[in-house]
Copies of this chain bind each other. A is one copy, B any other.
């Protein structure tokens, strides 16, 4: 229980703004979703955020809001509150978002990238609650990660720390959109699962329902269909998800050897799909790190699902 006033958490994406009122225990008291105008002028994009905040404030008029926490895709600078140049927020280039929101609402405002913010929410209120050294990964279209020590996001020198999705486990590997080779994101995020599945079919017919789910069109196969097929007991889908899990175990070996975390938390749609393989990942992890006690580290599913951004934004500013 806490007596601190509720805050507003704002989750800014390329197509939507989700806002919520969040209390000091991380409970989302109310929430709303709005479209995000991300490819117009900086002002229009800002207006999308303001519209969302105004709306959630109007439904909670009886409550005193103590602060606003924003999260958005990076690159951004959490120290200055400036959105630098996120590919899916093209309207904003070196845009002082936190300053603009502070000006508009005269409240304390913080901004961080969505993975860092979600990591903090998990550490404060979610699956990693009570753990000191937290490694969090959200696995979906990409892989975003956050490092939280003692309920504080580890930012490093410039706020760019915790970019675990671009750890390369194979410097001869496929080229990531970031320019590096063999990043875990290009090997194990959602699109990689689709690529892996399509390759299976391209390299010969297989006894699998995945192709049926794609109505016979190999090009239509994506990670969602693989997940659907796995849920229906398809063995090729299982094989694909096992291969993906194996790569994640290798990657987590690096994380554990560098950070020796108290807990590993994974969220996002692909992590949810891979949850049946968490025990496989845990079993393989000790082979991929020198840490002799790696098997003791819990690997947990995130507490916040689609609301991770709202909770994350709130976690940035809630007082403890």
Contact = CB atoms under 8 A, between A and B. Distances in A.
A275 interface: no
A245 interface: no
Contacts of A169: 168-171
A265 B219 CA distance: 48
Nearest to A263: B157
Contact of A257 (B159, B164, B172): B164
A147 B2 CA distance: 35
B170 A258 contact: no
Tell me what chain A mostly uses at the interface: helix, strand, loop, or mixed. Answer: loop
Interface stretch (A22-30, A60-68, A282-290): A282-290
A181 to B, nearest CB: 9
B257 A157 contact: no
Given A133-B156, A172-B172, A254 B290 contact: no
Contacts of A253: 168, 180
Given A158-B293, A160-B293, A254-B254, A168 B259 contact: no
Contact of A168 (B288, B292, B293): B288
Among A253, A257, A297, find the residue whose CB has the most chain B CB atoms closer than 10 A.
A257
Nearest to A288: B180
Interface string A154-167: 01111111111011
Contacts of A180: 253, 287-290
Nearest to A291: B160
Given A168-B169, A171-B250, A257-B166, A157 B75 contact: no
A293 B261 CA distance: 26
Interface in A146-195: 147, 155-164, 166-172, 178-180, 182
A292 B160 contact: yes
Interface of A: 75, 84, 132-133, 147, 155-164, 166-172, 178-180, 182, 247, 250, 253-255, 257-262, 287-293, 297
Q: Which 7 A-B pairs have the closest CB atoms?
A: A156-B260, A161-B260, A163-B257, A160-B291, A166-B290, A160-B260, A157-B262
